[in-house]
A and B are shown apart, each in its own frame.
Chain A
Amino acid sequence: MTDAVLCGLRVAGDLSLPELLPWTGDDRAPDLTIRLGEVPPIAEPVCGGPLLQVAADGSCRFEVAAVAAYRVDAGGREITIAPAVDSDSPDVRVFLFGTVFAIVCFRRNLLPLHASVVKIAGKAVAFSGASGAGKSTLAAAFLKRGYAILADDVAVVDPAAPGRALVWPAMPRLKLWRDMMDGFAFDTDGLERARVQLEKYHLPVETFAPEPVPLAAVYHLVEAREQRHEEMRLLSGVEAFLALDRAVYRRQLGLRLVGKEELFARSRAAASAVRSVRLSRLVSLARADAIVDQIAARETAA
């Protein structure tokens, strides 16, 4: 039986989740149960697309045909998985920790951000951006310099934490493509791949921050084409809110599941508690160290 922690939730069930840390908290009942079972299609979905449908009772079904079908109950407390491959294969967990866990977050008053998070001077600092924006790469550059990682790719924020937004640590790993593994001189030998067809590796990290940390800043990553176009600019007001709103992971899904008003309320709460910074920089390993220095200096001084 799995008894593990994911973003502060006690996770139990019969799927092995080797990337998660074991639960060491109180003896509460599991917050989230994951089990293997049948996941039949939803007969009359109230809304849905090719991969994801929502039933009238609020439960969701998500399927990647070659990998698995997933059901999340309306409360975000129970996940059922019908794997199309060996249930222990990493492919099944890739989507579990992606879209499926995002549903759980939306259902549990949490705010998932498309971001990687590192700990700088005791505070959580997030790097957000679309796929390919360089979130994991920047986190890897911080890791190389000895900073602790809290989350990679998906960062779960509790916007209702008293006084400030808290980031819940996810799991001690980074997802890095082959070119970046090589660029940072990380050894790929024996590492798990996200999908067997992809050279996207799961790099275990030792410097992991296992406790929740207040979120101090979100850096919204933008690619500059030349060094003279780089900038680090503090956003405020509507601009800061819009940047945070756009950083919501699976935002369209969140809008469907909780509605615009509620999702905006969560984003507003988070935006009002953190600094939002637009970070436009050259995407180049040669610049990575200098950018780490600039951010670390800024965050240490803040």
Chain B
Amino acid sequence: MSGIFWLASYPKSGNTWLRLALQSLEAGGAPVRFDEDKDNWWERKDRGRVGGIVSSRPFFESHLNVESSDLTAEEIEELRPQAIIAWAEGENSPIIKTHDAFLSSRGTPLFPDGSTRGAVVIVRDPRDVAVSFADHSGLSIDAAIDKMADPGGMLAGGTKRLANQFSQRLPTWSGHLAGWLEAPVPKLMVRYEEMKTDMASVLAKVAAFVEIDAPAAAVARAVAATGFDKLQAEEDRIGFRERAPNCRQFFRRGVAGGWRDTLTAEQVGRIETDHGAMMRRLGYEVSA
């Protein structure tokens, strides 16, 4: 078993950006096209090592031979690690995105022992996450801040409709990060803010960790190919499937520190109260 490299983060922390940059890098710095066929990434070895998101229903169904929409939430939670391990056994260290918490609600790893080769944990200032998460989810900023502090927080799912992804646990922004940062697997932490100031260095560091060849020229091309303006233009041209229905644009603003002109002092205070300990641990300056 060679194991999976996870790109793990809370939503709206730069995970998709990093994934697209790795995908470009793997292709020598090729332009990123959103309409390229990415379906069934888990069974197509010609598609390179960078795949999609592990909360995808077809991924699960293909490995367990069952219709996921006929299973209960409890059955799905119990079976997801088995789908992951069944896949990890046959693969050449794919690089896969996830927003799932490391631990399931039962307190056992969603990503079972032996399935993980390593985790790139992407972190972003929670004050910027709140603004972006609100826009992405069609929530008010206050509601997004509530969700980031909710130990029972979930992404997608529900019992009345069929979401095309499984619901993913988001046990608070701090709890989500703590779960991944303390997971007993090899880890590399990268910051969104560093990606903004020096994506080339971050990409080279990540490429070394996930074992993708990264000649400097290819890194430079991949960084240029996934510049924010390029991703926005591509979203405008063809649309981006990961954009949530309530949100106008997936690649919205792409700045670090944008919270300063968006959040009220009260909202900043709430986030810092909720997540001060984790913010300090990660080196984010707390105003109070």
Give the B-binding residues of A (Cβ under 8 A).
Answer: 49-52, 62, 64, 66, 94-95, 98-99, 130-133, 153, 177-180, 194-195, 197-200, 223-226, 229, 246, 250-253, 283
Contact = CB atoms under 8 A, between A and B. Distances in A.
Contact of A133 (B62, B68, B164, B239): B164
**How big is the B interface, by class?**
35 or more
Given A133-B164, A179-B161, A224 B239 contact: yes
A50 B64 contact: yes
A99 B65 CA distance: 7
A95 B66 CA distance: 8
B71 A64 contact: yes
Contacts of A195: 70-72
B140 interface: no
Contacts, number: 99
Interface of B: 39-40, 43, 57-58, 61-73, 75, 79, 82-83, 86, 159-164, 238-241, 243, 245
Nearest to B39: A246
Contacts of B245: 225, 283
Given A223-B241, A226-B239, A198 B67 contact: no
Contacts of A198: 69-70, 72, 159
B238 A132 contact: no
B164 A225 contact: no
Contacts of B71: 64, 195
Given A52-B64, A52-B65, 20 more contacts: A49-B63, A49-B82, A49-B86, A94-B70, A95-B66, A98-B66, A130-B39, A131-B67, A131-B162, A131-B164, A177-B161, A177-B162, A180-B161, A197-B73, A197-B159, A200-B69, A200-B162, A223-B241, A250-B61, A252-B43
A104 B162 CA distance: 27
B66 A99 contact: yes
A194 B72 CA distance: 10
